[in-house]
Chains A and B, each alone.
Chain A
Amino acid sequence: MWAARLWLCAVLFAAASVYAQTSPPGIYEPEYGQPGKDVVWVPTPEIVVDTMIDLAKITASDFVIDLGSGDGRLVIAAAKRGARALGMEYDDNLVAYSRRSAEQQGVADKAQFVKADIFASDFSQATVLTLFLLPEMNERLRPQFLAMKPGTRIVANFFGIGDWSSDEAVHVPDKDKCGNYCVAYLWIVPAKIDGAWLMPQGELALVQGHQYFKGWLFANGRTTVVEQGRIRGDTLNFTVDGVSYSGRVSGNVIEGTVGHEGASVRWTATRKVP
């Protein structure tokens, strides 16, 4: 729920008067544009929160971690969908505020908050990550994102993750409800398949670019090109000589099926390790 100091300065003064509400003395209320550790606080519009949760297909079996959870709205919304959700937030006041909100909305058991620096935190157990950070922060976190379990969903408001193209993007049409931040992106952490693999009939070389790959199959002294390589989580698909392969990656093994003369035949590959 954070966005850019520099990018937003101009709009902040105008927006602050709208967002800042008069609160009873002594009760902390966050203010739109208030400075944070690496960002200023800009809340994700509620409609985008819902869009992000839908896009990630968050269910009761998920563990959601929101990186920079701000006033807690996304964590609370995820908890209301039955998921266990954790907000990581650097600002103590926002953490306390989020806990109160979760309490008030009856989801304190599922919606938890911790004061933390996201760059020094372990969020690897999440099945869904949500974020509204600056592009360079997303970029900095990318190695950690890519190291997460294949299939982990990452949803972000507005800013992308460098040149890692999103698997899906949703544009919220309701401008008056989402203001300047009307796009939600979804990335699905791809299995790591880059490298050489051994198959019963020969050797498979795959060169991976996030969720896409190209490659070659060397079999019977012949080289054929692997085409249309695509990975979604731990599932991969490609064609060789017009034959479709699909499979599931589990560490150093790929198991799947290949369409062969109208029938479905099993195939396996193991990572080439000396």
Chain B
Amino acid sequence: MFVSKLIRRSCAIVGVVALTSVAWAQPASKDKEFQPEVGQSGKDVVWVPTAQTLVNKMLDMAKLTPQDYLIDLGSGDGRTVITAAKRGARAHGIEYNPDMVELSKRNAAKEGVAGKATFEKADIFASDYSKATVITLFLLPELNVKLRPTILDMKPGTRIAANSFDMGDWKPDQTARVEGDCTSWCTAYLWIVPAKVAGTWKLPQGELTLKQQYQSISGALNSGGRSTVISKATLNGDHISFTAGGAAYSGRVNGNTIEGSMTGGGKNTSWTATRN
């Protein structure tokens, strides 16, 4: 067991198998209010709280605003959800341990954000979190990778902020490290769900073929019988940009349509593409 201060100070991991020989976790006594203990076994993880400085950093990286709906996968003692609610966002925690859920609800009430911060006892692998605009998590790598297909199907532009563990070969868009009250588990990663742009797109001036590996894109523009490889290609959520044949294209992807503007030869014109 760690110091209770540490526990209060710091939300969520880690693990894959519930361990039984926990030298430092002690059973909570029945007559006292439930107190979580760092290292306590959860469903797929043990609980390690995220330091408050890292919670703040994760929300900063996600550029959380009051218009957002945040869902924390494995919400632990609720600190991330409560912090998000205090920033004005609607926030929801999914947590498998019912004691942690109750504790989180009490904490949210104490902090005066019970109206915005909600919690439910559920298995994240059997939950629908597709309505979130921001997802936060502190899970083990394997669990992140298991969640990845579902996350990649979320609305383009959805931000995913994770503590310490990445998403396999889906490289983070941003990485940051905090110090201060954080002594371990101090790395935050941010991913932005990319629009699905792979395929062949029809433009008035020709055909655009795009290949995609998460947010990395490459391709070629076929126009007037000439094929030009696109360069400076970026994909940030639903925002795509690239350069082809001396013209800079930018646009928004909406399903099978891209609409945007292009600058080339001193002119600024709009362009539209539709996927075959």
Contacts and interface: CB of A to CB of B under 8 A. Distances in A.
Given A207-B48, A216-B15, A225-B19, A272 B187 contact: yes
A36 interface: no
B23 interface: yes
Interface residues of B, number: 32
Contacts of B185: 194-196
A29 B142 CA distance: 66
Nearest to B16: A223
Contacts of A139: 3
Tell me the dominant secondary structure on chain A's binding face. strand
Contacts of A216: 14-16, 140
Interface stretch (B67-75, B176-184, B204-212, B220-228): B176-184
A207 B187 contact: no
A142 interface: yes
Interface string A218-244: 100101010110000000000000000
Contacts of B165: 196, 203, 205
Contacts of A214: 15, 19, 22, 39, 46
B122 to A, nearest CB: 22
A4 to B, nearest CB: 21
Given A207-B39, A207-B48, A225-B16, A274 B187 contact: yes
A52 B215 CA distance: 61
A216 B48 CA distance: 14
A223 B16 CA distance: 7
Given A195-B184, A216-B15, A163 B140 contact: no
A209 B40 CA distance: 11
A195 B17 contact: no
B147 interface: no
A199 to B, nearest CB: 13
B141 interface: yes
A139 B6 CA distance: 13
A273 B24 contact: no
A214 to B, nearest CB: 5
B164 to A, nearest CB: 5
Interface string B9-52: 00001111101011111100000000000110000001010000
A223 B140 contact: yes
Nearest to A228: B21
A192 interface: yes
Given A194-B184, A194-B185, A274-B175, A207 B23 contact: no
Nearest to A203: B141
A247 B83 CA distance: 39
Interface of A: 139, 142, 162-163, 165, 192, 194-196, 203, 205, 207-210, 212, 214, 216, 218, 221, 223, 225, 227-228, 272-274
Given A139-B3, A274-B175, 5 more contacts: A162-B3, A163-B3, A195-B184, A209-B23, A223-B141
